[in-house]
Chain A
Amino acid sequence: MRLITRRSIALGAAALFLSFGATQALADRTLLNVSYDPTREFYKEFNAAFAADWKARTGETITIEQSHGGSGKQARAVIDGLQADVVTLALAGDIDQIANKTGKLPKDWAAKLPHNSAPYTSTIVFLVRKGNPKGIKDWGDLVKEGVQVITPNPKTSGGARWNYLAAWAYAAKQLGGDETKVKEWIADLYRNVPVLDTGARGSTTTFAQRGIGDVLISWENEAFLVQKEFGADNFDIVVPSLSILAEPPVAVVTGNAKAKNNLDVAEAYLKFLYSPEGQKLAARNFFRPVDPSSADPADLARFPKVELVSVDKDFGGWAKAQKDFFADGAIFDQIYRPTN
């Protein structure tokens, strides 16, 4: 019996250690921001700026914990109990899901902050290889024979949904809104996709590192970042004639923030996004600020003028777009039906 006793003591000790480890994190005031993929560089700078600002105003040292991943995956983690104080995701649909499934934030969360709770916006552009060897100028060139297009799977990537909607908007305009033809056009587009990665960053690496494909459909901020990271002499950015206004929203997960006694700092954190300093940092990290007045003009000059459609006006909002295009068996799934 000697061994059993020893083993059970060891197990007990392990269990005690575990529960200690689980509760220990509550000692300091820490704020958890659950965000999506392409915001990593931005929030790294922004968190430092906010912590300094908060310290100056209240004297309190605040630690900001940061989690990044695909937007849908992150939303699911919050639904399953990840204790996020604020969520800063790729699209409103994902925050809607959190509101619906957990009730931890009000259904009208988007009305709590200015500009639909989107402190910065972005759009969708093309990244092509230096000199644009395939001569890609607009969406129409993407469905041509022999052009390989890299875009992630809209089922798993928030960015890919914006890509898809921008392409759809272009086709709808070109084809006069004939839905059957638009569907065929979209199917042609995805037939030119040789690799369907699960996230925007995955697609970027496939295109930039692996050398696959002629054109990457990408977040604007991501395209700039690729030029910065992989060298501007390797890639060109092509701005299509029509794109989409991508509004990545932010919200306080009130239920969590209240439970963690963080409501004041969580609200201040999001407000700081709208402050001159926050807006300036957003512009520096290739996001289009909603209030450009305080941003560095050199940063702003990088953003090209482009005609933009919007999800709310042109697709009837995220809930409808999700149901029409990306839900199980909806239009995107129909593209990949067996042909025989």
Chain B
Amino acid sequence: MSVLPSSLRQPSALPGFGLALGVTLAALGLIVLIPLTALVLRAASIGPAEFFKIASDPRTIAALRLSFGTALVAALVNTVFGLLIAWVLVRYRFPGRRLIDAAVDLPFALPTAVAGISMAAIYAPNGPIGSIAQSLGFKIAYTPAGIVVALVFIGLPFVVRTVQPVLEEVETDIEEASALLGASRLRTVFQVVLPHVYPALLTGFALAFARGVGEYGSVIFIAGNIPLVSEIAPLLIVIKLEEFDYGGATVIATLMLAISFAMLFLINAIQSWSRTKHGNV
């Protein structure tokens, strides 16, 4: 499987395609594909009738809707603020910039469980932000809003770190040219600079979203975990596992996997299409 027939790829002057692809596919197969195949086969082994029974259970549907819905909202929030933060970090110089730059990666490093505990402490009705929210009449922790907050935390670095390097690469001469041609700053930013960033932004969004869908460790501490209201799909998987119901667990896992795969594939396709359209950005 190491060398693909050359007809599958366009001719290139560069060497090493077979080796690079071979190594990639081998690792991908061993680390990702074989284990996932085991998962799907296990789910398939319980038969279609049982599969659809579990998949169409109101609790399964509610949990999937919650996981995907909160992940979507969190990813959108992160897209806006991630772009803003990347822009501020790349373009402006101000005291504390390096500190912020360094801190953006924290959600990767802090164990998700610790993040969940800390965030529950902050956003619970007796915490610093939770008490403010409480006095304004709404609750954050132990509601779906709490899940969104946790997922925003988890997903932020994906957007910032994907956009940042690309933004650094954007050359300022085109902006100057655009300004010289009479474009307003706002127009320059949105029509000249950001189009270079959109593919990366879309990637960042997709990664933050995908990461949020499956997040478990941080969410269970802040979600409340009430069935049909704040019970996320990964928790439902854990519940099935604790019941020694591997079939049920793998069915929900497979559903999540299929939806995530379809969405990631769609986003990657959009991105590659936009790259062809906008040329080699």
Contact = CB atoms under 8 A, between A and B. Distances in A.
A193 B142 contact: no
B144 to A, nearest CB: 13
Contacts of A209: 121
A193 B125 CA distance: 16
Contacts, number: 68
Given A195-B142, A195-B224, A338-B228, A328 B248 contact: yes
Contacts of B235: 198
Interface size band for B: 20 to 34
B220 A198 contact: yes
Nearest to B236: A155
A193 B226 contact: yes
A97 interface: yes
B225 A196 contact: yes
A73 B62 CA distance: 24
A328 B60 CA distance: 12
A40 interface: no
A196 to B, nearest CB: 4
A76 B227 contact: no
B224 A155 contact: no
Interface in A304-340: 326-328, 333, 336-338
A212 B238 CA distance: 24
B244 interface: yes
Contacts of B231: 196
B239 interface: yes
B241 interface: yes
B173 interface: no
Contacts of A4: 19
B124 A212 contact: yes
Interface string B199-231: 000000000000000000000110011111001
A70 B244 contact: no
A212 to B, nearest CB: 7
A197 interface: yes
Contacts of A211: 124-126
A195 B125 CA distance: 13
A337 B125 CA distance: 28
A4 B23 CA distance: 10
B42 interface: no
Contact of B242 (A76, A212, A336, A337): A76
Given A101-B244, A210-B120, A196 B224 contact: yes
Interface string B234-266: 010011111111001000000000000000000
A195 B223 CA distance: 8
A331 to B, nearest CB: 14
Contact of B239 (A153, A194, A202, A338): A153
A273 interface: no
Contacts of B224: 194-196
Q: What secondary structure prevails in chain A residues at the interface with B?
A: loop
B59 interface: yes
A79 interface: yes
A289 interface: no
Given A210-B121, A212-B125, A79 B220 contact: no
Given A193-B226, A194-B224, A210 B243 contact: no
B225 A197 contact: yes
Interface string A270-291: 0000000000000000000000
Given A195-B225, A210-B124, A212-B124, A155 B239 contact: yes
A155 B121 contact: no
Contact of B244 (A97, A193, A210, A337): A97
A332 to B, nearest CB: 10
A101 B121 CA distance: 40
B195 interface: no
A72 B225 contact: no
Contact of A153 (B124, B125, B221, B225): B225
B245 A328 contact: yes
A156 interface: yes
Contacts of A196: 224-227, 231
Nearest to A337: B58
A336 B59 contact: yes
A325 to B, nearest CB: 12
A198 B238 contact: yes
Interface in A173-226: 193-198, 202, 209-212
Contact of A156 (B124, B141, B242): B242
Interface string B46-74: 00000000000011001000000000000
5 closest residue pairs by CB, A with B = A336-B227, A72-B242, A211-B126, A196-B225, A155-B239
Given A197-B220, A338-B62, 6 more contacts: A4-B19, A155-B243, A194-B142, A194-B226, A209-B121, A210-B124
Interface of B: 19, 58-59, 62, 120-121, 124-126, 141-142, 220-221, 224-228, 231, 235, 238-245, 248
Interface of A: 4, 70, 72-73, 76, 79, 97, 101, 153, 155-156, 193-198, 202, 209-212, 326-328, 333, 336-338
23 contacts: A4-B19, A70-B242, A72-B243, A73-B241, A73-B242, A76-B241, A76-B242, A79-B244, A153-B225, A155-B239, A156-B238, A156-B239, A195-B226, A196-B225, A196-B226, A197-B220, A198-B225, A202-B220, A210-B124, A212-B124, A212-B142, A326-B243, A333-B59
